[in-house]
Structure 1
C-alpha cells in the first residue's frame, strides 16, 4: 500500500506539468510542438523601449519649428489664446526708414526741386554753375565768373573722367530715420570750401651744370706745369689766371714772330731804297723787293696768329715801332699778369710760359693738376662752372606731351631737401626713350644763392594750372557708382526741426586735380554745401541697394 501511494501518477493528485498541458490541449494531437515565446517577448520589449526617445526627438523638432516661425520669441498669452489685435508694420524694407516718412516711396512728402538734367558743357546733371538754385543752401548763391573760367581751363588742359549723360542716379535720395541713425552708421560731414589747387605733371629729374656756362680747360701745348694759382671752390673772373705751363713751343713761336718782324723791317727798308732809285735801276728789282716784303709780312701774320691761337694777346702794330730788344722784352712774359711779372726777373725768365686763364665768370669745380706735372692737350686741368644758372632734366610720360608747352613754370625739390626752386621749361625732346617710353624735358633754374648742386636727383613738376581759389572737397568723399562720379549732399532743411527729413541728395560731380587731402571739383557742388565724408561708403551701399535689381541701363559713353 505504501508503495502505491508514493509511486502513484501525478495526475491522480490533480497536478500536471506545462508540457503535458500543452500537449494535451484541445485540438492538438499528441506529439505536436509550438514556437518558443522568448523571441516575441524581445521584439515587444524593443518596441516599447524605443517609444520614449522617439517622442523626445519629435518634441525637439516641434520646438525648433515653432521657434523658427516666431523668430525665437515667446508669444504673449493673448496671442496664444487668439485675443490679440493685429499690429500694422510701419517699415520700408527697401529704404530702411519708416514707411510713413519714406520720401522715396512717397515723393509728395518731400517734393523734388527742378530737374535741369544734363549739362553738356561741364558733364554733370543739374549743373550748379549754370543753375545755382539746385544747391542745398538756404539762399541761392551767386556763381562767380572766375569759377566758370576755372572750369573751362580745367576741362581744356587735360582729359577728365566722364559721367554718363543717361545715368539717372542723381534723382535718388538717401534717407535716414533720425539723426541718431546717421551717427550710428558712422557718417560724418564736411563743408565744400575753397582751397588753392595746383595741377601738374610730375617726373623724376636731375640737376646738372648748364653746359653753356661750363668750361673744361687744358693746356693747348705739351709742357710742364710751372705754376698753379687756383684751387677747387675758388671764385674766378673771366680772364683770371689759373695756372702757367712751361711749353717750349711757345718760345719757338715767339722767336718766329721776332724773326718775322725783323725780316719785315728789313724788306720794308729795301723796298723804300729801291723805290727812291726807280729811275736808275731795273723795275724787276723793285718787284722782287716788294715780293720779299709781302712774304715777310705773311710770316709776321702767321706768327701773330699762332700766338693768338694760344690765347696770347699779341699787338703787332705796337711791336713794329719798338726796337728788337724792346720786342723781346715784350714777348718774354706775354699774357702773364702784372702781379706775376713783378715776382719774376724779366731779363732771365723763360719765354716758354703759356698762361691758362678762365674764359668765364664762375667757380673752380674741378682741378686735376699740380706744379711740376707734365701735361698735354688731351688732359683736362680745370673745370670752371658758372652756377648762377643750372639745368634741370625731367623724364615725363609720353602720354602727357599734349599738355606741355615751352614757357610753362617748373618746380623742383631735391631728395632730402625742403628747399623748392622754380624755373621755366625751355626744351621738349622730340624723341622718347626706347626702353622707358619717357620723354626728356629741360628747364632753366636760377641759382643765385648757390643752393643747387650738380647731379642732384629729385622730383619736378611742370605746372599746368595754379588755381588759388578752387572749389574742393575732402579726398575720398566722392564715389564712382558705375557710370557717374557722385557725392552725397545733405539737405538744406536737415536741422530745421526734429521732424525734418534726414535726407542726402545724390549729386553727380566732375573732378579735377588732387593735392594732398583735397580734390578739386570742376562742377557739381558749390562752396557752403555740406557733403558726407567719413562713412560716405554707407550711403553708397544704400544707393547700390536701392538700385539692386533695377540695374543701370546707362552704358559708358
Structure 2
C-alpha cells in the first residue's frame, strides 16, 4: 500500500509533460496550416486585383479625356492649346454671336411703344421695320381693319414696359435650326371670324304655335287629324258631339219661327191699325222686338262657339229647311258627305285650327269626354323656329340684334344660319348667363323642337385678315410675341441665322389660325412648329433680369 502511494506523483508528472508536449506540437502544426492558406490566398488574389486596377485606370483616363483618344501630337507633347469659342449664354460660337458683338449685325431702329396699336416697334406705323426685301405700303383697309379689331375684346394686353421685343435668338447654322425642330411659315392673309359662343336650344316659335280645345263640353265623335298631318287655317281637327250646340240650334229655329209670327202679326195690325187699339199694336211691337232679341242672343252664342249663322238666308227657309241647314253648321262641305250618312244628330261641333302648320300633339281619341279646359291638339308652323342661346355676361358687350348666328346641333355636321332677334335685359342670378334669341328659317322643316347644340354669334368677319398659325404666338410673361426670321438669313453661309422677337396684338382665332391686329405683315417669315425652342432660349437669356418692367 505504501509503495503505491509514493509512486503515484511521479507517474502524474510524467504524464503531464507528455500531454504538454503533444499540445505544443498540435499548435505549431495549426499555425503552419493557417500561414500556408494565407500565402495561397494572397498569391491567388494578385491576378483579380491587377485586373480591377487596370479597369479603374481606364475609367479614370476616359472620364478625364471625355472618352476620346488623344492625338499623336498630344502623346508626344507637341499639341497646340485649345481656344474656347462658345457663348453659353446665347448658345452659339462667341465669334459669331450678334448679341455679344453687335457690330456683327446692327439692331433695327427702336421706335418703342405704339400706344395706338398696343405693340412695340409697330410695323403699321413703321413698315421699314418689316423683315422684307422691300418696305411694304400699308393700305387704308388694313388700318381700318386694325381699328375695328381693337374695339373687340382681347384675352391679354401687352405691357408697354416689356423689353423682350429688342431680343434676338441666333442659331449657329441653318442645320442647327433644323436639328432643333424649328419650322417656319409665311405670314398670309386668310378669312377670319370673331364670334362668341354658347349652348343653345331650338324651339317652336311660340308666336306660330297654338293649342286647341273644344269650346264646349261634349264627347269626341270623330278625330280628323293625327300627329304629323299638315293642316291649313280653318281645317277641322275633330268633331265633338255637344248638347249645348244642339240646344242652341233648336232654340234658333224656334225663335226664328216666333220672330216670323210676330212680324206677320205686327204687319197685320198695322194694316188695320185704325180699327185696332193702340195698346194692342204696342204689345205686338214689343213681342216682335223680344223675338228679335232672342234671335240675336242665340246667334251670338253660336258665334262665340265659332259657328257663323246667316240669319237672312235662314229666315227665307221653312223650318224643315232651316233645321237641315243648321244641322251641319260649321262643318266643311268636304266632310258633310261623309258625316251625313252616319249621323242624324244636330249636336256636332267642329274643333278647327286657326293657323296653318303641322299637328305636333294629339291628346284625344274618339269617344272621350272633353271640356273647355283640356287641350286636344297642338299645331305649329315650323317654317320658322327660335334658337335660344345662353351667352356669358362678359361676352355680351359687342352682341347686337341683326348679327348672324351659326348653330351646330349635337351629333350633326349640318350648319344652321339665323340672325339675332332679341337680347334679354337681365342675366341669370346663378349662372350669369344672358338669354339671346335668334330666328332660324326652316323652309324644308328639317329643324326639330328641343334640339340642343352650340351657337356662335358672328361679331366680325374679315375675308383678308393678316393671320398666323395659332401655335406660333407665345405669351412670355408680359407680351404676346412671335419670332420673325431675319430677311438676310439665307444671303450667305456666313450671314447670321437670327430670329427677331416681335410683340404682336392678336385678334380672333378661327380654324387653327389667329388674326394679327398689329405686329407682323404679309410676306414675313415666322417660326411655327418648334418655336417653343426659341421661347425657351429667350426665357433662359432673361433669367435674373426679368422680362419686363411693370407699368
- TM value normalised by structure 2: 0.84
User: Hey, what does 1:217 align to over in structure 2?
Assistant: 212
Deviation string, structure 1 residues 504-547 (Cα, Å, up to 9, x no partner) = 01000111111221111111111111111111111111111222
Deviation string, structure 1 residues 299-319 (Cα, Å, up to 9, x no partner) = 222211211111112222333
1:279 to partner: Cα distance: 6.2
User: Hey, what does 1:97 align to over in structure 2?
Assistant: 92
Report which stretch shifted further, 249-258 or 180-189.
249-258
Structure 1 unaligned residues grouped into runs of 5+:
1-48
User: Hey, what does 1:460 align to over in structure 2?
Assistant: 455
User: Hey, what does 2:23 align to over in structure 1?
Assistant: none
1:351 to partner: Cα distance: 1.0
1:470-549 to 2 correspondences below 5 Å: 470-549=465-544
User: Hey, what does 2:158 align to over in structure 1?
Assistant: 163
Quickly say closer, same or farther: Cα 1:534–1:348, change in 2 above 3 A: closer
- 2:357 pairs with 1:362: yes
Report which stretch shifted further, 255-264 or 355-364.
255-264
User: Hey, what does 1:438 align to over in structure 2?
Assistant: 433
Partner Cα distance (2:399, 2:432) in 1: 16
- 2:308 pairs with 1:313: yes
Quickly say closer, same or farther: Cα 1:185–1:299, change in 2 above 3 A: same
Quickly say closer, same or farther: Cα 1:301–1:158, change in 2 above 3 A: farther
Partner Cα distance (1:554, 1:232) in 2: 70
Deviation string, structure 1 residues 27-84 (Cα, Å, up to 9, x no partner) = xxxxxxxxxxxxxxxxxxxxxx9xx9xxxx9999999999888767777686688765
Partner Cα distance (1:289, 1:148) in 2: 92
Partner Cα distance (2:95, 2:528) in 1: 28
User: Hey, what does 2:335 align to over in structure 1?
Assistant: 340
Structure 2 unaligned residues grouped into runs of 5+:
1-41, 47-51
1:282 to partner: Cα distance: 6.2
User: Hey, what does 1:451 align to over in structure 2?
Assistant: 446
Partner Cα distance (2:103, 2:343) in 1: 114
Partner Cα distance (1:474, 1:108) in 2: 33
- 2:256 pairs with 1:265: no
Quickly say closer, same or farther: Cα 1:346–1:326, change in 2 above 3 A: farther
Quickly say closer, same or farther: Cα 1:377–1:78, change in 2 above 3 A: same
Partner Cα distance (1:288, 1:366) in 2: 56
User: Hey, what does 1:325 align to over in structure 2?
Assistant: 320
1:73-472 to 2 correspondences below 5 Å: 84-273=79-268, 288-345=283-340, 349-472=344-467
Partner Cα distance (2:366, 2:61) in 1: 109
1:489 to partner: Cα distance: 0.5
Partner Cα distance (1:458, 1:257) in 2: 57
SS of the residue corresponding to residue 406 of structure 1 reads coil
Contact 2:482/2:501 (<8 A) preserved: yes
| RMSD, aligned α-carbons | 3.2
1:225 to partner: Cα distance: 1.8
Partner Cα distance (1:335, 1:306) in 2: 14
User: Hey, what does 1:38 align to over in structure 2?
Assistant: none
Deviation string, structure 1 residues 397-420 (Cα, Å, up to 9, x no partner) = 121222221111111111111211
Partner Cα distance (2:488, 2:436) in 1: 53
- TM value normalised by structure 1: 0.83
SS of the residue corresponding to residue 202 of structure 2 reads strand
Quickly say closer, same or farther: Cα 1:261–1:171, change in 2 above 3 A: same
Quickly say closer, same or farther: Cα 1:248–1:473, change in 2 above 3 A: same
Count of residue pairs the alignment pairs up: 509
